[in-house]
Amino acid sequence: MSLQSFQDTFCGAVAGFSFRFFGHPFDTVKVRMQMDNQKRSFMTSAIKIFRKEGIFAYYKGMLSPLLADIPSNAVLFGIYEYVFRQICSNSQEKKPYFLEWFIAGGVAGIGYAIVVCPAEMTKCVLQMQKEYLHKQFKSPFQCFAYAIKNYGIGSVFKGLVATILRDIPQNATFFATYEYSKYVFSKNGDLPFYGALISGALGGFTCCLASYPMDVVKTQLQVEIKETTQNRKFKPRFYDGGVMECVKYIWQTQGYKGFWSGVESCIIYYMVGCAAQFTGYYYAQSLLTNYSNKH
């Protein structure tokens, strides 16, 4: 591995930790809202969780995505930086590269989805416990063991197609927005702290809007792991992992609003998480670059 690739991977790992630590409580509220038939508001859902389950309930299911976010973000940022350098012949020139950012982000999203999908499945299941699921798991590892024992090793990738369909537009818009915002806020090549925060938050806002309907589908598919194969509503068609059946079910039962259930929580989640993520990534990258230049 080259020094540049190592730096990209390491900074991605820092970004993954930052995103999960600051964003996970909002993710828990988002998942509860997506599965709540009564369609409560963000504040009502958040207060209900606190009153019934306590403050630590907001961090339910965090271990598996935290363990996955570090390597998955290392993969995400590593692929993004590599693809961008390959398709952009003169990346040192100070100008916007919208198409290159968009393509590199979309390609990186595929790799990210493959790595993160198993952790996303256990996260969603654990976040839905207490109130919604009768089957209780004490840890993500117990959830993994249950899925593998009953449905085989492939079951931990339940929802993979939906995850890929979510993460391609998510990361394409994510990086394009962040990079352009960073370009606007940079002064003489340096990005101020507030610029890093705002750039990350704007990236989180746009990527949420670009991917949220498929995120709802992904959640519905992944929490079905608790059901036997015969009892699952969303049967796979043409290797789609149940995506078409799930989309049809949501449309018929809730209309277009069903695809945006809990979106306010997701926007807050991504804006907070991405602000922390990209600030962590940018300053880790700056730190390593300065260290390399001195040595």
Percent with pLDDT over 90 in the chain:
37
- Between 283 and 177, the higher pLDDT residue: 177
Chain-centroid distance of CA 130 in Å reads 23
pLDDT at 20: 85
Average pLDDT over residues 63-72: 78
Q: Residue 10's pLDDT band (boundaries 50, 70, 90)? A: confident
Spatial distance between the Cα atoms of 136 and 146, rounded to a whole number of angstroms: 11
Lowest average pLDDT, out of 78-82, 120-124, 237-241, goes to 120-124
* CB neighbourhood size of 198 (10 A): 20
pLDDT at 91: 63
pLDDT at 27: 84
pLDDT at 132 over 60: no
pLDDT tens column, 177-213: 999 999 999 887 788 889 999 999 999 999 999 999 9
Q: Residue 278's pLDDT band (boundaries 50, 70, 90)? A: confident
Its pTM stands at 0.81
pLDDT at 261 over 70: yes
> 160-164 — which CB contacts under 8 Å span 24+ positions?
160/113, 160/114, 160/117, 160/241, 161/239, 161/240, 161/241, 161/243, 162/214, 162/217, 162/218, 162/221, 162/241, 162/243, 162/246, 163/113, 163/116, 163/117, 163/120, 163/218, 164/109, 164/110, 164/113, 164/114
* CB neighbourhood size of 260 (10 A): 15
Q: Residue 147's pLDDT band (boundaries 50, 70, 90)? A: confident
* CB neighbourhood size of 288 (10 A): 18
